[in-house]
Amino acid sequence: MATTSTSRPGRSLIGLLVVVVLLFGIMALTKTWKPKLGLDLRGGTTITLTASTIDGSGKVTAEQLNEAKNIIGQRVNGAGVAESDITTSGANHINVAVPGATKESLVSQVGQTALLYFRIVYDAQAAAPQPTPSTTPSTTPKPSTTPKATTTPKPSATIKPSATPSSPKGRAWSSALGEATPTPTPKPSTTPTAKPSSTPSATPSTPAAAGDPLNYTPDAATQAAFATFKCGDKQVDDPNKPIFSCDREGTSKYLLGPAIMKGTDLSDASAGIPQNGLQWQVNLKFTGEGGDKFLKATTAISKRGQGQNLFAIVLDGETISTPSVENPIPGGQAQITGTFTEAEARDLANVLKYGALPVKFDISSVETVSPQLGGDQLSAGIWAGLAGLALVVVFCFLYYRGLGLVVVLSLGAAAVLTGTLVILLGKAIGFTLTLAGIAGLIVAVGITADSFIIYFERLRDEVREGRSLRSSVETGWARAKHTIIAADSISLLAALVLYVLAIGSVRGFAFTLGLTTLIDLVVVFLFTKPLVTLLARTDFFGHGHKLSGLDPEHLGVERLPGQTKPSARPRKTPSTRKPVGGEV
């Protein structure tokens, strides 16, 4: 009985063509034409972190290590790196691999212990003598302000209640204590002096009340020590004591009081542009207890007066930003506004959101794969795939002759589907192609070739058994497809087990193996079988041309069933009649 694919094989081919056109249409709409490459192909950096408890006592638990791994993953992916590979190793190691990242950028991103504190700024100076100031203001403002002592102070950020929209005037306070600027481009200030800067009060007052960081006042000895402090000097970031801190650029240093809040008092932080706004801002949300602390802190800081109402966001002893506070902020939500770029706002939001790791880290090793080495490995993988493909094609042409054309076209269809899906999956789910993934693609060539061989051999067996070529195409397919499905199901099961149980690059191999196995089923059912059906209706294949691979000599039969013409090399059949005469 004829099947639908027998009478209308063109439907399957047209359906597959429509799918391919749709895939290319999606690629055109998303403007995605290249796959995402893994670290071993694209180049990047791998860092091994050794975890320990913050106070140095006890061992890191599995829960702490997993939580730290998740927070590091959020940090890295929060910066827009979706293809990072972050895994735990042993009892206290975390491996971080990020394609395309430089050593310096990745170390600064994940190597932070993330002891996040909020502290009041009591003094600010230049970290080192600066060149003669230029008359041109800085054109690249930063979210974290620089002090009065620097040659080119930058506009600072202002923290406001979240219910209050950003000021349309865009006013920001300079981080120079006691000096306010009405525009985001303040004038250069004078060269720093070696004398200690003034404190919020004219002269050192009585010591702070015990246990209340909001009432702290630095004494003369602290100010003298601050005057000689240099960025890079070692110090302990004790939340109960004042510290000397520098900004990320190392150009400004700050005298900061004891911590008034911790990073754990924050529940969320995000970057965005307010409705009808023009500048990026950072939105803060505090915990219930943190909101009460923040209201008390902003009440005290706002009373200090313009230019002195600054607090510092400090991560591992490094000052990330120094926003000013103009009014008390209730409600547990606030905004940090200023002259942020998108990258600066997102970076500050990530520091605030993911800045409280339960453990600290030492960087055990850093390995960098150069883009040149990654490109060489990619080229080697591509050449290996092409070599394997060429061997399969040569074998099929030598053994199956004209049917080798079916192999080439089917492999081409599989390559198109695989390439488009790898590219689109990289865009949709962040799938990255690694060297192990290329190995999975090369193995898939053999899997696809197995499907062709199973079908072709079954078709030839049917012809040998006396069926016509058109009939053999259908009966051979009916028997071969069950074997093909069983073989591909085993490959899919193996790929699934590998993907679930394995980690790292092995998962990439498993994913590509499973993907290409599914594509093999699609190609064999919707392309190979309909194509053979159409070819069987042609004179070249249907009448067993010598180069078709279906000629009688190649199949080992005298002639094809139903063939009226004698074969190219007719055999003489001996007569069965006995000779007349002879012995009686």
Span between the terminal Cα atoms of the chain, in Å: 56
Which of 84, 110, 136 is at the close of a domain? Answer: 110
Tokens coding 477: 């397919």
* Global model pTM greater than 0.75: no
Tokens coding 247: 């900004």
In which order are the strands placed within the sheet that holds 324-325?
Answer: 266-272, 280-286, 333-340, 158-161, 324-325
Do residue 406 and residue 526 come from a single domain?
Answer: yes
Asked, for residue 197, whether it belongs to a domain, the answer is yes
Do residue 544 and residue 412 come from a single domain?
Answer: yes
pLDDT at site 468: 77
Quick check: 399 and 547 in contact, CB under 8 A? Answer: no
pLDDT at site 259: 92
Which of 348, 380, 414 is at the close of a domain? Answer: 348
183: nearest Cα among 193, 191, 174? 174
Domain count, the chain: 3
Asked, for residue 357, whether it belongs to a domain, the answer is no
Q: How far apart, in whole angstroms, are the C-alpha atoms of residue 510 and residue 502?
A: 9
Do residue 80 and residue 125 come from a single domain?
Answer: no
Do residue 405 and residue 302 come from a single domain?
Answer: no
Specify the residue for token string 């997102």.
Answer: 346
562: nearest Cα among 471, 476, 473? 471
Asked, for residue 227, whether it belongs to a domain, the answer is yes
Tokens coding 252: 């400004």
106: nearest Cα among 95, 92, 117? 95
Q: How far apart, in whole angstroms, are the C-alpha atoms of residue 564 and residue 199?
A: 111
Q: Digits of tens for pLDDT over the chain (584 positions)?
A: 444 344 578 888 898 899 999 999 998 898 888 887 776 777 777 888 888 876 666 677 787 787 778 777 766 765 555 557 787 877 788 888 777 666 666 676 676 656 788 999 999 888 865 444 443 433 333 444 333 333 333 335 777 776 443 333 332 333 333 333 333 333 333 333 333 333 333 333 334 444 688 888 888 999 899 989 988 787 777 888 899 999 888 888 999 999 999 888 888 888 888 777 778 889 999 989 989 999 999 999 988 888 788 989 887 788 888 898 988 999 889 988 888 888 888 888 877 876 666 677 777 777 777 666 656 767 777 788 788 788 888 888 888 888 888 888 988 898 899 989 989 988 887 777 777 888 888 888 888 888 888 888 888 888 777 777 788 888 888 888 899 999 889 989 988 998 888 766 677 788 888 999 999 999 999 998 898 888 888 888 777 677 777 777 666 666 665 555 544 444 444 544 555 454 43
| CATH number assigned to the domain comprising residue 547 | 1.20.1640.10
Do residue 50 and residue 177 come from a single domain?
Answer: no
Do residue 271 and residue 315 come from a single domain?
Answer: yes
Q: How far apart, in whole angstroms, are the C-alpha atoms of residue 458 and residue 467?
A: 12
Quick check: 552 and 459 in contact, CB under 8 A? Answer: no
Asked, for residue 498, whether it belongs to a domain, the answer is yes
Do residue 307 and residue 197 come from a single domain?
Answer: yes
Do residue 316 and residue 194 come from a single domain?
Answer: yes
| CATH number assigned to the domain comprising residue 79 | 3.30.70.3220
Do residue 406 and residue 507 come from a single domain?
Answer: yes
pLDDT at site 519: 92
pLDDT at site 485: 92
**Beta strand extents in 252-411 (DSSP E only):** 252-262, 266-272, 280-286, 311-315, 318-321, 324-325, 333-340, 359-369
Do residue 298 and residue 428 come from a single domain?
Answer: no
Specify the residue for token string 């700024």.
Answer: 121
Asked, for residue 561, whether it belongs to a domain, the answer is no
**Beta strand extents in 370-522 (DSSP E only):** 432-433
Quick check: 250 and 301 in contact, CB under 8 A? Answer: no
Do residue 128 and residue 189 come from a single domain?
Answer: yes
Quick check: 120 and 260 in contact, CB under 8 A? Answer: yes
**Residue-wise burial string across 479-491, b where 16 or more C-beta atoms lie within 10 A, e elsewhere:** ebbeebeebbeeb
Quick check: 509 and 38 in contact, CB under 8 A? Answer: no
**Beta strand extents in 431-553 (DSSP E only):** 432-433
pLDDT at site 22: 93
Residue ranges making up the domain that contains 432:
4-37+370-555
Do residue 63 and residue 188 come from a single domain?
Answer: no
Asked, for residue 196, whether it belongs to a domain, the answer is yes
Asked, for residue 442, whether it belongs to a domain, the answer is yes
Quick check: 301 and 325 in contact, CB under 8 A? Answer: yes
Which of 110, 139, 154 is at the close of a domain? Answer: 110
Asked, for residue 411, whether it belongs to a domain, the answer is yes
pLDDT at site 177: 38
Strands 324-325 vs 116-126: parallel, antiparallel or unpaired: unpaired
> CA torsion 302→316→104→323, rounded to 10°?
0
Q: How far apart, in whole angstroms, are the C-alpha atoms of residue 226 and residue 308?
A: 18
